[in-house]
Each structure stands twice: as C-alpha cells, then as structure tokens.
Amino acid sequence: MFSKLQSKRIQLSPQQQDGDCGYQVITLGLFYLALRAASSSSLKEQLNNSDALACLLACVIPPVPRFLPQDKSSGNTQKLLHHLQAVASVSTWDSPGFDEVLSSFTVALKQRASQSTWLSEQVKQKIKSGLWYDDYRCWENYHSFKSIKEKVISQMDELYARLRKKDAGDLEKIQEVMFKARVGVCNQLSDEELLDPVNEVICKYYQDVSKKAWLDCEFLKALTADLLGSSDLFLAAGRC
C-alpha cells in the first residue's frame, strides 16, 4: 500500500504583500517577451544585451536550484525560459511551483528598485510636491518627517491668522489653508532636507521585508525602463 503513495514537496504559497502584483506583472511580462523572442531576433538581441536584466537574473534565487541548468553562458532570454521550463517539467516531489518562481523574481525586483537612483528621485519629487498628503498621510508620522510636519503646522498657523474673521470658521477656507501650507513648505525643501525622508520611505515601503506602497504606473514604467531601456517594449511585443 505504501509503495503506491507518491511523495510530494509541500509548497507553501509565499506570503503576498500589498503591491506585489505590480512586480508579478513585470515578471510575467519578462516571460512573455522571452517566449516572443523565439520568433523575433531583434527582441532576443535586446533582451540578451540588457546588463540590467542580466543583473536581475543573477539575483533571482530559484525555489529549487537543481531544476535550472548551470550553464552561465546562456543569454538572458534562455535564462528566463529555464525558469518556465522548470515549472513545466515532469512533476516530481520537489518540482517548483509557479507562485514560488513569481515570489523569487518579486524579491529580486524589490531589491533592484530599492537600491536604484530613479526610485530615490521619484520619492523625492513626490515628497517635494506636497501632494503625498492625499495618499500617504502616514508619512508625516515618520521620525524623519518631524521637522517637515513642524514647518507645515507653523505655516498653517501663519496663514490661518491672515484669514478674515468671517472665514475663520469656513471649512473650505480652512482646507485651502492646509493645502497651501503643505504644498508651500514641501516645495521649498532642499535636497539635504529630503535625504532622510526619502531613505525612510524607501526603507518602509519598497524593501523586501517592509510594508509596501501600492505600485503606480509611474513606478512600473520606471522599473521596466531600467531593465529593458524602454517602458514601451511590452506593448511593442504585444503588437507583433
């Protein structure tokens, strides 16, 4: 009876974080491009010539390493296909699951993004705009935002004091004062003042073990362009 039982590796579905689906979309896009490259020499060349993509693939830790060929001379396109082939191979007790592969790529993408200069610049501009109060109000409670919060409160008090008495209780006028104070103060922040807030936001939202921000279109386009040189490559391949 026991001889008929087949052992199978227990696959625990990797824990998902808010925003992980954005990284997974990029991973699926990379696999799609690798498959399309079989019929497009120019696409294959573009993928294989991407040093950034090569660095990413070198950082991906496969869930079951033995299922991947150890040929380091393979191009980026073939390395991507190896991950798909590992999942599609004959099922054995330790076969990797596709969700595990997605998780491995997600970790590598997070590491690359969090260490990039473009993400630092994106976060800096978001803070400097003052509009982050709408979507990321919790940032003002971070330690590095303390001085920014104090400046905003001081500016609010100053602008409120200028209101006419009849407007002092007008909710719309008060909201206008708050908006002007936040945007005005943040617009004037220097690069030095922004350094610690930027680093803290990246640490808390974009690194592997931290709570994640929802990945917007701007972030996904920048990450794709970083890997492939253009954020339009996915769309271009889809029209082939």
Token digits for 102? 């997605």
What confidence tier does 6 reach under pLDDT thresholds 50, 70, 90?
very low
* Reduced 3-state DSSP string for the chain: CHHHCCCCCCCCCCCCCCCHHHHHHHHHHHHHHHHHHHHCHHHHHHHHCCHHHHHHHHHCCCCCHHHCCCCCCCCHHHHHHHHHHHHHCCCCCCCCCHHHHHHHHHHHHHHHHHCCHHHHHHHHHHHHHCCHHHHCHHHHHCHHHHHHHHHHHHHHHHHHHCCCHHHCCCHHHHHHHHHHHHHHHHHCCCHHHHHHHHHHHHHHHCCCCCCCCCCCHHHHHHHHHHHHCCCCHHHHHHCC
Model pLDDT, residue 1: 41
Residue 211's pLDDT band, with cuts at 50, 70 and 90, is low
What is d(CA 83, CA 105) in angstroms, rounded to the nearest whole number? 10
Segment 46-66 shows an average pLDDT of 90
Taking each helix axis as running N to C, give the angle between helix 191-205 and helix 117-129, from 0 to 180 degrees, rounded to the nearest 10.
110
Q: Does residue 114 register a pLDDT over 80?
A: yes
pLDDT at 3: 42
What is the pLDDT, as a whole number, of residue 180?
Answer: 95
- Under the banding of pLDDT at 50, 70 and 90, the label for residue 214 is low
Model confidence, pTM: 0.79
What is the structure's pLDDT at 225? 93
The predicted-structure confidence for 151-169, as pLDDT tens digits, reads as follows: 999 999 999 888 887 777 7
Looking at residue 16, its pLDDT comes to 55
Enumerate the domain spans of the chain: 16-115, 119-205
Q: Is the pLDDT of residue 240 over 60?
A: no
Instruction: Look at residue 8 and tell me whether its pLDDT is greater than 80.
Output: no
**Considering only 31-45, 59-73, 114-128, 189-203, which range has the smallest mean pLDDT?**
59-73
pLDDT of residue 89: 76
Confidence of residue 184 (pLDDT cuts 50, 70, 90): very high
Residue 4, pLDDT score:
43
